[in-house]
Amino acid sequence: MNLSEWENSIFPGESMHNSKSRLKTLMPESAQTGFQRFKKLVLRFLREKLEKVLFTGAWPAKLGISAGFQGQVHVTKYRMRFPEFSLSLAPLHIVFASDFHMGPTTHAQHIEKSIEKIAKLEPDLLLLGGDFVYLKAKFVNDWLRLMQKYLPESIEKYAVLGNHDNHLDPVYIAAALEAAGIKMLTNRCTTLEAPYNFISLHGLDDWQSGNPDVNAAFKKTAEIRIVLMHSPSNYLDLQNVDFDLAFCGHTHGGQIARKDGSPIRAGSGPLSRQYNFGVFQIGEKMEKTLIVSRGVGFGSVPFRINSAPEIVSIRLMPELKLR
Ligand SMILES: [Fe+2]
């Protein structure tokens, strides 16, 4: 393999963004008072009703694609070396994609191009970080049709849901994904098949809209622990948990950002601004790696500024032994 094709090497403990924990204690929706939850529910209900009417005919997605704001997806590539990885093993290629938001603001062509790009990367493992749909749960079926068109069944696929999925119909969306061979990892764990059975996957429910259960997600662990979650605020659930690498999306990188990438308005959740996008070394000894993707799709506005749609590709590989 030509290593020069890889853009970013991750070295735990000495990487680009070092971020000591200065975590606020904010309450997830499940822990808010009845009145706070009711108020949020009403506001969300009204907003959804309004957007369903306003976005009739999916004109934002059509405008987005015809104006050239949609249809381009950046692939960010990383490589990460582990001492637990045997030198005789081939690197494990993981692709992480999140926030497709199939619906009236993200054009199907944009999503199709993203999925085509994932297929061309030929991952061993595809991790999906939630927010599959926007405004209607049944849009997941359109998304699945595109997935099935390009991605072979032989690629192992795991998913957690995002806040949009949870607010719409998590049971329906999870069942549709499972029926299409995508394994739900919400509050669950699994170990990869041999020879990669020293790697375990741990999925958490969304911090904001679900009920993350760390004990269930870490019931069984292997030597290398990889976490799949929707939002960077899920890191609040992981304060006392040993893990090596975590993937999340949700922030869209702010979707509209300044030239330096900082968001004008950060995504919801207390850690969305601090971990807007990119790779972060976290934990007391900076021993944990958090990768936050800007995601694929669009929220209520069908364009992005300084926050390009993104798919993450990472190769896990053995440590180099220098003589
Ligand atoms: Fe989200």
Residue spans of the domains in the chain: they are 3-19+32-318
* 281 CA from centroid of ligand 1 (Å): 22
Question: How many Å lie between the centroid of ligand 1 and the Cα of residue 129?
Answer: 9
Calculate how far, in angstroms, residue 131's C-alpha sits from the geometric centre of ligand 1. 5
Calculate how far, in angstroms, residue 317's C-alpha sits from the geometric centre of ligand 1.
30
- Quote the ligand 1 centre to 276 CA distance (angstroms): 12
Class of domain 3-19+32-318: alpha beta
Mean pLDDT, residues 86-112: 96
Q: How far is the CA of 62 from the centre of ligand 1 (A)?
A: 22
CA distance 84 to 136: 43
The pLDDT value recorded for residue 13 is 55
Q: To the nearest 10°, report the CA torsion of 298, 301, 303, 304.
A: -80
**Structure tokens, 196:** 């990669």
Q: What's the mean pLDDT when you consider all of the chain?
A: 90
- Helix (H), strand (E) counts: the chain: 7, 14
- Average pLDDT, stretch 230-252? 97
CA 250 to centroid of ligand 1, rounded, Å? 4
> How far apart are the CA of 323 and the centre of ligand 1, in A?
47
pLDDT score of 10 more than 80: no
Share of residues in the chain with pLDDT > 90 (%): 77
Which pLDDT band, with edges at 50, 70 and 90, does 47 fall under? confident
* SS3 call for 30: helix
pLDDT at 274: 95
Distance in angstroms (rounded) separating the CA atoms of residues 150 and 108: 14
Compute, in angstroms, the gap from residue 272 CA to the centroid of ligand 1: 10
The reported pLDDT for the residue numbered 30 is 56
CA 2 / ligand 1 centre spacing (Å)? 35
Give 257's DSSP letter. Answer: B
Task: Tell me the CA–centroid distance for residue 251 and ligand 1, in Å.
Answer: 7
Q: How many angstroms does the Cα of residue 163 sit away from the middle of ligand 1? A: 5
- The CA 267 to ligand 1 mean position distance, Å, reads 8
Pairs from 174-180 (Cβ < 8 Å, separation ≥ 24): 176/140, 176/141, 176/144, 177/132, 177/140, 177/144, 180/144, 180/147, 180/148
The span from the CA of 247 to the CA of 254, in Å, is 17
